[in-house]
Amino acid sequence: MRRFRRVVFWAHLCTAVSVGLIVLIMSVTGVLLAYERQLTWWADTRSVDAGPATPGQPRLHIDALVERATAAFEGAPTAVTWRAEAGAPVVVAFDGDRTLLVNAWTGVVLGEGAGGTRAFFARVTEWHRWLGMRGDGRLLGRGITGAANLGFLFLVLTGPILWWPSNRTWPAVRSVLLFRRRLTGRRRDFNWHHVIGVWSALPLLIIIASASVISYPWASSLLYGIAGAVESSAAPSHAADHAAADIPAGADASTRAAALDARAERQVPGWRIITRRVPRAADEPVTYTIDSGNGGQPQRQARLVLDPVSGEVMQWSPFSSGTRTSRLRSLLRYVHTGEVAGVAGQTLAGLVSLGTALLVWTGYALALRRLLGWRARQERTRQGMRDTRSSAT
C-alpha cells in the first residue's frame, strides 16, 4: 500500500505541476464568470427608467415595441424577450448578436445596454475556454484547456488516496478536514491544500466532469451511454392548457400577435421570462420559450409553438418531454456553472473556483519546498563526500 501511494503521489505531483498554470487561469476566470448573467442584466438596466410614465398605464403590445426598436436600429429583429417584473425593459435581439432595450410602457428605446460589461465578460470567457486565443487559434486553446481539465480530473480522483491519513486518529483526520490557525510555511500550505481539496472534491468532480463532456465527443457519448439515453421522445405533458388563443374574427396582424402573446403567458402560471422568435413570414408558426426560473435553469424552461392564424397549440415541449439525451445536453452547460441550482449553485461554483486557485498556489508552494529540500539534501551529500575525500588525503 505504501508503494502504491508513492506511485500515486508522484503521478499526482507531476500532473499538478504540468497543468497547474492552465487550471489557475480557468479557476480565476471561473470566479469572474460566476455571476455573469446577473451582473450583465444589472449593468444593462441599472441606469434606465423602464417603469410606467403614469400610474395604471397599460403596457404596449410586444409588436409595437419591436417596431419602435426596428425604427431605431438597422437590421432585422430575431427575437423579443419580456419579463414578469413591472420595471423590466423588453429586450429586442437583432442579427449580429446585438440587442436593444425598450421601455414596455412608453416604447422609448433605452439603448443597447452595458456594452463594456458584455465585452469584459466575452474576453474573460475567451480566456476561460481558449486561453484568450481567437480565430484559428481557438482550436489549439481548446485542446490545451481540455487536456488540462482531464489532468485536473485525475488530480481530484487521486487526491483522496493521498489526503486520507494512514494513521486514522482524530488529530490526523482533523489536520486534513479543518483549517488550523497559527500555522506557517509548509505546515500551513499542507493544511490549506488538504482541507480545500477535501471539501471541494465532490463539486469539483461535477464541474470538471461536465466540462470534459462539453469538450470531448467521446466523453459525451460515454455519459449518454451510461445514462441509458434513448433517442425516442417521451410523451408530452397533458397537464398544461392546450386551448387555442382567443383571436377575434377578422383581426389584424397586431391584434393576432397580442392574442398569441397572451396565450403564451397563460400557458405557464408563474412564468418569469418569455422569449418569442420573430417570424420571418406571416404564416410562419410562432415559437415561444417560457421560463419559470431565473434564465439559467433549463429544467424550468419549455417550448410552445402556436399557429399564427388560428392560435392553436402546434407543439408543447416542457423539459420533461425531451429525450434523456436532449435533457442531459441542455443541462450540462448549466451544471458546469452551477446555474442549474440557482444562485446557491452559482455561489458554490464560484467558491470552488476560488478554492481551486488556492489549491494551485499551495500545491506549487509545496512542490517548490520539496524541490528546494531535495537540492539541499543533495548538496549536503556532495559536501559530505568531499569532506570524506579530504579527510582521506
Contact between 113 and 43 under an 8 Å Cβ cutoff? The reply is yes
Q: Please tell me the distance from the alpha carbon of residue 334 to that of residue 213, in angstroms, as a whole number.
A: 13
| Mean confidence (pLDDT) of the chain | 90
| Residue 148 reports pLDDT greater than 70 | yes
DSSP per residue, 188-253: HHHHHHHHHHHHHHHHHHHHHHHHHHHH-HHHHHHHHHHTT--SSPPPPPSSS--PPP---TT--H
pLDDT, position 228? 62
User: pTM score, two decimals?
Assistant: 0.88
* Region of residue 311 (phi > 0: left; psi between -120 and 50: alpha; otherwise: beta): left
Mean pLDDT of the 37-57 span:
89
pLDDT of amino acid 232: 44
* DSSP 8-state code for residue 256: H
The per-residue pLDDT for 88 is 93
Share of residues in the chain with pLDDT > 70 (%): 96
281-297 pLDDT per residue, tens: 888 999 999 999 999 99
Q: What is the pLDDT of residue 240?
A: 54
The whole-angstrom distance between residue 333's C-alpha and the CA centroid of its chain comes to: 5
- Burial class of 231 by CB neighbour count within 10 A (0 to 12, 13 to 18, 19+): exposed
Structure confidence by residue, pLDDT tens digits, 205-250 = 999 999 998 888 888 888 777 766 444 444 444 445 678 888 887 7
Closest CA to 61 of 261, 247, 272, 249: 261
